[in-house]
Amino acid sequence: MERELIAWLRRHLPSHPCLRLGAGDDAAILHLAQKADAVVTADLLAEGAHFLLGEATPRQVGYKALAVNLSDLAAMASKPVAVVVALLLPRSGALQLAVDVITGMLPLAARFEVAIAGGDTNTWDGPLVVSVTAIGETTPHGPWCRRGARPGDRLLVTGTLGGSRLGHHLNFEPRVGEALLLSEKYEIHAAIDLSDGLATDLRHVVEQSGCGAEVLLPAIPISAAARRLAAMEDDAQADVRHALCDGEDFELLLAVAPREAERLLVDQPLDVPLCDVGRFVDEAGLWQVDADGQRRELSETGFEHRADP
């Protein structure tokens, strides 16, 4: 199966200026820009945890596997260069499944000028597992990190949040172009992509920055999908919980100094909205501020992988 897949890859993977040697050897050879640092990230998607075949097509799985890695590079304000893909395939129909997964990546790779440089395949008696390692380059204006938020900074998010399981988690647009534009034209103190939910991912930022944050609940941009889920649950507060906790929004959360945040909110330089949803504070922890101005601890949490002791 592997020989056939390598032959297919050689016929179908496009050439790329950074790719000196691609699929078919023990390793790929990339030519990276001089005076740029390499930014490396990896994400693993497993059937049953991140997707269900039958509800998602193999091509959608391939798209998502690449997109989540590009979202990580966007969170670092880094330019994507190349990826390597590892597939653990169920034995039955393995070759066609591999072809379909890779085919799902090709349009996204072309849009962001990313080389699919190679990887590995194995078969087993279990479900599909897709692991992608992405390599990016820093720009003169980056990289962004999770640490760096300062008390007084405004908390900005792109797009809308919540309800990703109604389809967004399979067809979202990683905010690569938005991140590169923002890093070039504005000063961003810290950033993260919202993969596990606003409540969980914001916690990562405050813990690494040594501060806390207040979230203004009425200011959260709630997606139409989150509102649909809330309507089905017949719970007026459920839409906010979905926006805080669902995860897989893959929007950007940014820490921005107040004056710069005002400029960003007036300029609205992106094709998606930028919203101010709170501020960073001296006091450690996460806090929510309700419509009536009441402040209390934010106890909601987003997605976390659990392990048995």
Instruction: Kindly report, residue by residue over 164-210, the tens digit of the pLDDT.
Output: 999 999 999 999 999 999 999 999 999 999 999 999 999 999 999 99
Q: Are residues 12 and 117 in the same domain?
A: yes
Q: Are residues 123 and 192 in the same domain?
A: no
Query: Does a structural domain hold residue 70?
Result: yes
**Domain encompassing residue 231:** 154-297
Phi, psi for 224 (deg, rounded to 5)? -60, -35
Query: Does a structural domain hold residue 251?
Result: yes
User: Residue 35 has what pLDDT?
Assistant: 73
Query: Does a structural domain hold residue 220?
Result: yes
Query: Does a structural domain hold residue 309?
Result: no
Query: Does a structural domain hold residue 188?
Result: yes
Q: Are residues 120 and 160 in the same domain?
A: no
Query: Does a structural domain hold residue 302?
Result: no
8 A C-beta contact, residue 219 and residue 275: yes
User: Residue 238 has what pLDDT?
Assistant: 92
Instruction: Find the helix packing angle between 94-111 and 2-12, rounded to 10°.
Output: 30
C-alpha–C-alpha distance, residues 74 and 69, integer Å? 9
Phi, psi for 274 (deg, rounded to 5)? -110, 130
Nearest to 233 by CA among 162, 167, 296: 162
Q: Are residues 160 and 133 in the same domain?
A: no
User: Residue 1 has what pLDDT?
Assistant: 66
Within 10 angstroms of residue 73's Cβ, the number of other Cβ atoms is 29
CB-based burial label for 85 (10 Å; 0-12, 13-18, 19+) = buried
Provide the pairing of β-strand 190-193 with 115-124: unpaired
Boundary (domain end) residue, out of 104, 137, 170: 137
Q: Are residues 169 and 290 in the same domain?
A: yes
Q: Are residues 128 and 169 in the same domain?
A: no
Nearest to 191 by CA among 243, 251, 248, 241: 251
CB-based burial label for 113 (10 Å; 0-12, 13-18, 19+) = middle
The segments of the chain whose pLDDT lies below 70 read 1-3, 9, 19-28, 300-309
8 A C-beta contact, residue 150 and residue 189: yes
C-alpha–C-alpha distance, residues 118 and 28, integer Å? 6
Q: CATH code at 177?
A: 3.90.650.10
Boundary (domain end) residue, out of 137, 167, 195: 137
8 A C-beta contact, residue 288 and residue 219: no
CB-based burial label for 105 (10 Å; 0-12, 13-18, 19+) = buried
Q: Are residues 200 and 286 in the same domain?
A: yes
Boundary (domain end) residue, out of 87, 112, 137: 137
8 A C-beta contact, residue 260 and residue 274: no
User: Residue 253 has what pLDDT?
Assistant: 98
User: Residue 37 has what pLDDT?
Assistant: 86
Query: Does a structural domain hold residue 133?
Result: yes
Query: Does a structural domain hold residue 143?
Result: no
- Cα distances (angstroms) measured from residue 186 to each of 155, 156, 182, 206, 255: 14, 13, 5, 21, 11
C-alpha–C-alpha distance, residues 240 and 223, integer Å? 10
Q: Are residues 53 and 26 in the same domain?
A: yes
C-alpha–C-alpha distance, residues 199 and 298, integer Å? 8
Please give the tally of structural domains in the chain.
Answer: 2
Instruction: Determine if the peptide bond prior to 221 is cis (ω within 30°).
Output: no
